[in-house]
Amino acid sequence: MKKMLTTGLLGAALLAGAAQAQDTEQLRIGVDIPYEPMEYRTADGELTGFDIELGNALCEQINAECEWVVQAWDGIIPGLMARKYDAIMSSMTINDERRQTVLFSDAYIQPPSAWFAAADSGIETIYPQSMEGKTIGVQRGTLQDNYVTDNYGDVADISRYTTADDLVLDMDAGRVDIAFLDFPIGKSTLLDSDDGNYVTVGNMISEPKEYFGEGFGIAFRQRDEDLAERFNEALATLQDDGTYDEIYDKYFKTQ
Amino acid sequence: MEALTTWWTELLGGNAIFTANTLEFYWNGLTTTIQLVFLSLLIGILLAVPLAIGRGSKHPWIRMPIYAYTYVFRGTPLLIQLYLVYYGVVFFEGIQESMFWPIFREAFYPALMAFTLNTAAYTTEIFRGAIKNTAKGEIEAARAYGMSKPLMLRRIVLPSAFRRALPAYGNEVIFMLHASAVASVVTIMDLTGAAYYVYARFYAPFQAFIFVALIYLCLTFSVMFVFRRLERRLLAHLRPREG
């Protein structure tokens, strides 16, 4: 008797849940902060960033109400599996290892890398010729390191640093002419904190895939194929109607 | 040269990590490490001999500064000394405009300076111990011959002190070789730097580091071999006579 009652209650609850989902779907999205400018809190504690704004726009597009759940990075995939949230949108690089556990949406951004130099460096364009005899600073073992080594290794000296902070020290000291960094890292260490001494040079670089990877994707549980498909469609719509570009320019426009 | 390259490529056929390209990294790393260690040891020993003599001086204003120097450089990690010389110098006002900047701009010379100062401090103490241990009888005999202090130092004390210092100094050379691995933190592509590079590029820590460990082992063996030979020659009088 008791068992029947429980089953009945559970069934009722499930039905109620399903009914509610008909109106506006409730979705929770996991995110790890801070990683400027992708996801961070403003001074008054509000979540913002490229992922957050794009995520909200996507939710609006698929007619869902989204709630952001802050979760530390090392537990972010287990949290998805444990149903603490339904998707992860947190600058997660798509790769085969993660594909074993989660289902990825299409890539929604290729994380850009950028060249940074002192405002008075005189380097204005990025060609192998303009790099002749220069010292290029990179973080050791990053994809930027691989890209620079293969493309500029013959003409320029490459200094490899363990941390971006060491690299910035040597930029300040004048030992490094130009740095090639993950744009968010370069922005926070060189553009924002060094009152106008540094500028980006040339375009942002996020191709070829062989170096810069498949990009960031939204992660879902494997079985939520429908949900992933709806996000993909929404993303395509936003890319067509200009909303995507608007958000992109807000966070990644250099000048 | 071309034949050599083809030979390499054939030998390495199918190996994704140790391509001719990465081996070149290791080779450049090897030459950098050897240059760095050899030069710092050479300058270090030239500094250490007068310092070791001064360290035993009876004038405190000669003895004490040298003592302070060896105390500081033996009492702090080499990595910290390297950071201080490399990142520290740039905080001197106007160093970028001075004539020294071309030297300090490169990572090699600050590292060479840190290594030299470090090994000179250890070598000073090794030599000073050996000088102090000179048999009293030898000194008395030299005095009895009417030798002046410098002559006694040159003919009696230093030659026997060098011999006594040889085994300890051989260890210092090996330590220095191994300690030079920290050079990679200031962007020098020494052997360890090359290994880091290969590791990060191919995500292959075992292959990258085992290969470099083998190179260090070979270097250590050659150093040991040279010192073994030197000891056999120079310390022959201490060995039991062969029947």
| Chain A residues touching residue B200 (CB < 8 angstroms) | 140-142, 145
B28 vs B18: CA distance, rounded Å: 14
What's the ipTM?
Answer: 0.74
B222 vs B30: CA distance, rounded Å: 14
A216 vs B113: CA distance, rounded Å: 45
Distances (CA, A) of B150 to A115, A172, B147, B156: 62, 50, 8, 10
Average pLDDT over residues B6-17: 66
Enumerate domains of chain A plus CATH numbers.
Answer: 27-110+213-252 (3.40.190.10), 113-212 (3.40.190.10)
Give the closest of B96, B189, B193 to A174, CB-based: B96
Q: Which residues of A touch B (CB under 8 A)?
A: 140-142, 145-146, 159-162, 166, 169-170, 172-175
Q: Which residues of B touch A (CB under 8 A)?
A: 87, 90, 96, 101, 105, 107, 185, 187, 189, 193, 196-197, 199-201
Total-model pTM = 0.75
Write the DSSP assignment of B54-68 as a string of letters: HHT-S-HHHHHHHHH
Cβ contact A173–B90 (<8 Å): yes
Give the closest of B87, B96, B187 to A160, CB-based: B187
The sheet carrying A102-104 orders its strands as A64-70, A25-31, A87-88, A219-221, A102-104
Highest mean predicted confidence (pLDDT) among A16-30, B62-76, B102-116, B227-241: B62-76
Give the closest of A145, A169, A174 to B200, CB-based: A145
Model confidence pLDDT, tens digit, residues A148-206? 988 998 899 999 998 888 899 899 888 999 999 988 888 888 887 767 788 888 888 88
Q: Return the residue of A nearest to B107 by Cα.
A: A175
Quote the pLDDT of residue A19: 46
How many Å is the Cα radius of gyration of chain A?
Answer: 22
Give the closest of B96, B101, B200 to A140, CB-based: B200
Quote the pLDDT of residue B143: 93
Distances (CA, A) of B218 to A101, A136, B24: 45, 33, 18
Model confidence pLDDT, tens digit, residues B95-133? 888 888 888 888 999 999 999 999 999 999 999 999 999
Identify the architecture of domain B28-188 in CATH: Orthogonal Bundle (1.10)
DSSP letter assigned to residue B225: H
CB A185 within 8 A of CB A164: yes
- Residue pairs between chains A and B whose CB atoms are closer than 8 Å: 37
Mean pLDDT score of chain B, rounded to an integer? 90
CA atoms within 13 A on the CB side of A99: 8
Quote the pLDDT of residue A253: 73
Which run of H or of E encompasses A193?
Answer: none
Higher pLDDT, B49 or B21: B49
Quote the pLDDT of residue B76: 96
Q: Measured between CA atoms, how close is A76 to chain B, in angstroms?
A: 23
Confidence of residue B49 (pLDDT cuts 50, 70, 90): very high
CB A137 within 8 A of CB A161: yes
Quote the pLDDT of residue A69: 95
| Chain A residues touching residue B107 (CB < 8 angstroms) | 159, 175
Cβ contact A173–B187 (<8 Å): no
Q: Regarding beta strands A102-104 and A219-221, do their DSSP bridges make them parallel or antiparallel, or are they unpaired?
A: antiparallel
**Is the bond preceding B159 in cis, omega lying within 30 degrees of 0?**
no
| Chain A residues touching residue B189 (CB < 8 angstroms) | 160
Neighbouring CB atoms inside 10 A of B100's CB total 13
Quote the pLDDT of residue B203: 73
B147 vs B142: CA distance, rounded Å: 6
| Chain B residues touching residue A170 (CB < 8 angstroms) | 87, 187
Q: Is residue B17's pLDDT more than 80? A: no
- Which of A143, A157, A160 would you mutate first to test chain B, the one with the most B CBs within 10 A? A160
A253 vs A187: CA distance, rounded Å: 11
Cβ contact A141–B200 (<8 Å): yes
B48 vs B119: CA distance, rounded Å: 9
* Alpha helices (H) in chain A, listed in sequence order: 2-23, 50-61, 76-81, 96-99, 143-152, 164-173, 183-186, 209-212, 225-241, 243-252
Average pLDDT over residues B160-187: 94
- The residue ranges of chain A whose pLDDT is under 50 are 17-21
Torsion sign (Cα): A87, A89, A92, A94: positive
Q: Is residue B7's pLDDT more than 70? A: no
Confidence of residue B10 (pLDDT cuts 50, 70, 90): low
Q: Return the residue of B nearest to A175 by Cα.
A: B105
CB B198 within 8 A of CB B15: no
Cβ contact A169–B87 (<8 Å): yes
Q: Measured between CA atoms, how close is B47 to chain A, in angstroms?
A: 29
Q: Return the residue of A nearest to B92 by Cα.
A: A173
Angle between helices B205-234 and B191-202 (to 10 degrees): 160
